[in-house]
A and B are shown apart, each in its own frame.
Chain A
Amino acid sequence: MALSRGKMRRTTFIAIMLCGILAYGISVAYPPLDALFLSLIFGVFSNTFFDGDYKEDAEKFLSIMLPIGIAMYGANIKLNAELPSNFVAMAVVSAIMLGTLVYFFSKYVFSLNNRLSFLLSCGTAICGASAIAIVASLTKPKKEEFSSAVIVITIVGLTGAVILPYLYNVFHPSLEKYALLCGATLHQTGLVEIATKPFGVEAVRSALEVKSVRIALIAVVAFFTSISYSEHRYYVPWYIAAFLVLSYFSSYLPSGILSVLKPASTIAFSITLAAVGFSVNIKDIQNMRLDPLVAAYAGWICAFIVVFAVVIL
């Protein structure tokens, strides 16, 4: 029986929220599985394997949840003012290098278009699917570009998240360096957690502090992107500002508030990424061919080698 438009929309919203909450629940029950990554994967798979036209409703939901999720995600970021400057510099250089190389390979080696190249570049350099979602809200790419960018960044990032623990076991760097390597090279916050969780909470915390520096770059990227793409010049979205403010002040919030705010922000961002997954069309991969994946891999590997060499060797 066909559902009415309103019911359809409600069903989609509920499904997205369930994906987010379920991902969070699984991550709580089994910490090695990251809530953000799972919610994205759940969203993609739900959208792909269940019949129905969810995309429009998912995009609608995403337009609501994305600013909230990003803003609240700031609570998960802990900007550490005491973070060594070489770590900060490494994180910034790494981000620039990652973004530049991925953009170079995408745009000039594989002749991808500017929007997709930019999405891949931002996703790789800053914070994966989250950055893509934020930047896409400004650059307005095609659906297939957005979808393929999210999937490519997830795969490449996940590859990195799987390889890095192995490299740790091979080269046995210090946890600090390992955390720097992870925070400086992995795409999403969730992937950083995945890659560092086997090595203890301290590794996770350190890696996320480095990663937070990269995440903070979203404000700069959003600002310049808005100048380039947005109709309102010199415009930084409110949620970016809120994200940065919350990131900054979360360090000073009482632990009681943080103990509520952090799970809430994780659930909110999980739901946001589930919405991103819902708005992704896996079939778009077919049309995009292998080029974005190879370009993303190539750019990331090149940058990783450099960062690895600098940090580990």
Chain B
Amino acid sequence: MRSIFVKIVISSLIISTISAVLYTILQFLPEYFAIAYDFYVLIIILGISMFLAGSITEPLERLRNGFEYLLNGKYIQVEIDTRDEFEDMGRFFNKVAKELIEREKILRETEKKYRNLVENLNDWIFETDNDLNIIFSNIKGYELFREKKIIGRNLRDFLLDVPEIGHDSCSFETHTISGRIFEFSLNPLYEEGKVVGFIGIGRDITDRKRAEERLAHLAAITEHTIDAVVSLDIDGNIVSWNKGAEAMFGYKAEEMIGKKFTILMADGMSEQCRENFRKAILEGYAKDIETVRLTKDGRKIIVDQTLTSIHNSKGEVTGFVVIMRDITEKKKSEEKLKKAYEELEKRTAELKYLANIIGNSNEAIYSFDMEGKITSWNKGAENLFGWQKSEALGMHVKELLPEDFEKETEYIIQKIKNGIQNLSFEGKRKRKDGSIVDVEITASPILENDEISGISMIVRDMSYRVKSEQELLRRILKYKVDIGKVYLTDNFELALDVLSDMAKASFVGTVITRRLPEEVNVDCKVLWLSEKEGKDTIHPDATTIEKTILNFPAKNNVVVLELDYLVTKIDFESLLSMIQRIREDFYILKRGVVILVATPGILDATQLSLLKMECNQLEKKKIKLSPELYEMLRFVYMKNKTGEKPSIKEAMDELGLARNTVKKRIKQLRSRGLINIVKYGRTKILEVTEEGRLIFD
């Protein structure tokens, strides 16, 4: 019999028997020891009982240990060999425990898998109580917020905007404190029918949102771009037609969707179209530069086209996108631009040619800005002035001027600013070695955007010619006059004689006087000072007179200005200022000679003194010949100087004399050995002898 019951019964019998035996034994002991021995027997029985009970219930302890292990997730094989119900229980336990352990193992593995899944999910999975205090968070939560402590904190601590949460499932989108956009889904957790919290899943949709925005942006761009964006299916039927295409071709989207793309092809383009589609399929895209398309109204437009194939996830071609840009206007503009470019190249070549000429010109060409700093300097300038280009650039242009001509630069700038385009004059320049050179100067403005940015100067070395001319003048004139100077005399007749004499030497004479023109018995222009306007009249004010004089030809002027009348009309200071300005102009530009005439007594002593400071005195040369003979000899001499040998007739014509008078004067000059008559064919021509030339040395 396998029964605990039996064991207990047997045990009871054993105990009873032992008890009976022992108490029977005690009957033989003295009374005195009875209590003690009863106690001892009790201890014995108790002890044996405990061992018996223990031996019966010991398997329970094993089972208890087994259960304890089981509770701790471990499994031990409970071995019970009592051959009673405990042994069965042990067997059952082992079976159940094994099953449980296996299930737990599976559960653990499953839990591990789920935990891994939850922890490794890219979504934030969390659990909260009713007040949204977080009681669980997967790793993503910690990574997301870079916080060590999430558990125990409120969901609102991490989210910028959390709507009111009821007891139902809800979803919402919000920004986290880390700036990401999250989509949350909260589901209530129930315990005994009551909501005890929520389980939530937060999904980072920042990238998705941005992608959506980008897509929307791209869609808007595609829709509103000026380029025509057309998508086609695999058969070439139009699937989409953007606003750019509508504007470019004139067709509305509803007109074109479903139509063949070839409707836009000009005649003879179908072969090229097929080739493009074939290339797009094989290579992914095909570019068609400057191809022709037809608009709704039949116009031909030139477009740049890109045909791109669209692939599905398997890599199969499912359609095409055609992007076309209208370059018709661009092409026209390009043509214009091309022509302009060619013109520019031509001009540039010319400019290069000119620059080369200028650079290599023998004439000194340089320029300076409005502050007077030299900005260009050619070879001719290097040769003329001695300064190398590197030295001259940046140097102030005044360095080129002699001391007396320092005001020239301001004068030229002022003139140019006043609108004079080409200012030509003769002047002087200082070389690097300090020597002075006579030059002929042409000043022109340099314009940049219609603004004067500088002045170009063309300077020609005239030193030899000027010297020659001055020497010639000095030799041939009856008076000692220097070009560029202002002279003062009280003798109007003398002034007219000087003018007449210089007029014969190719000077242009002008007399400005209150005297009537017929009173001026000289062949020259007479300007009559009068407040009334009329022909050859000039108003007696300083500005008008100055302006008139300064507008005379650039050189070889001889001007006689009578001051008597002007003194009555203009205050002396204005008159003196005007004279000073005219003097500067004539001196700097070597424009000729000005002779002022003031009748004695018309000016007071101070005024006269001031005037004399500005002017020189006329002085007559000492000549051994009579004026008439000197005039004849000078005529022939001047002709001979230019390589000509005048005839008697020419002398008659030039000097306005009769033949006999000319012959008579020639005869007198021949008798003095100053002139020869040479036969040139049938004509007699005149030449000055060596002795005659000495008169002019």
Contact = CB atoms under 8 A, between A and B. Distances in A.
A184 to B, nearest CB: 20
A94 B40 CA distance: 24
Nearest to A284: B54
B41 A162 contact: yes
B28 A286 contact: no
Interface in B11-61: 22, 25-26, 28-30, 32-33, 35-37, 39-41, 43-44, 47-48, 50-55, 57-58, 61
Nearest to A297: B48
Contacts of B32: 32, 198
B36 A33 contact: yes
B40 A286 contact: no
A155 interface: yes
Contacts of B54: 285-290
A58 interface: no
A282 interface: yes
Main secondary structure of the interface of A (DSSP, over half): helix
Nearest to B30: A198
Nearest to A154: B47
Main secondary structure of the interface of B (DSSP, over half): helix
A149 B52 CA distance: 16
B40 A161 contact: yes
B50 A162 contact: no
A282 B35 CA distance: 25
A123 interface: no
A163 B43 contact: no
A162 to B, nearest CB: 6
B30 A158 contact: no
A285 B58 CA distance: 9
A259 interface: no
Given A287-B58, A290-B54, A198 B40 contact: no
Contact of A155 (B25, B33, B47): B47
B43 A289 contact: no
A278 B28 CA distance: 34
Contacts of B33: 32, 165, 197-198
Contacts of B28: 165-166, 169
A: interface residue count bin: 20 to 34
A30 interface: yes
Nearest to A291: B55
A119 interface: no
Contact of A33 (B25, B30, B39, B61): B39
A113 interface: no
Contacts of B52: 290
A155 B61 contact: no
A135 B32 CA distance: 36
For B32, B47, B55, B58, the residue with the greatest tally of chain A CB atoms inside 10 Å of its CB is B47
B44 A159 contact: yes
B151 to A, nearest CB: 32
B25 A285 contact: no
A194 B35 CA distance: 12
A288 B61 CA distance: 11
For B29, B51, B53, B55, the residue with the greatest tally of chain A CB atoms inside 10 Å of its CB is B51
Interface in B635-652: none
A285 B40 contact: no
A290 B47 CA distance: 11
Contacts of A286: 50, 53-54, 57-58, 61
Interface string A273-301: 00000000010011111110100000000
B51 A158 contact: no
B22 A162 contact: yes
Given A32-B37, A165-B29, A198-B29, A155 B44 contact: yes
A41 interface: yes
Interface string A136-161: 00000000000000011011001101
A284 B25 CA distance: 30
A289 B29 contact: no
A32 B25 CA distance: 17
Contacts of A291: 55
A282 B33 CA distance: 28
A293 B37 CA distance: 21
Contacts of A166: 25-26, 28-29
Interface string B643-686: 00000000000000000000000000000000000000000000
A130 B48 CA distance: 21
Interface in B90-125: none
7 A-B pairs with least C-beta separation: A32-B36, A286-B54, A155-B47, A290-B55, A166-B25, A169-B28, A289-B55
30 contacts: A30-B35, A30-B36, A32-B32, A32-B35, A32-B36, A32-B37, A152-B51, A154-B47, A155-B44, A158-B44, A161-B40, A162-B41, A162-B44, A165-B29, A165-B33, A165-B37, A166-B26, A166-B28, A166-B29, A198-B32, A198-B33, A282-B50, A286-B58, A287-B58, A288-B51, A288-B58, A289-B54, A290-B54, A293-B47, A293-B48
Given A151-B47, A194-B36, 4 more contacts: A155-B47, A158-B40, A194-B40, A285-B54
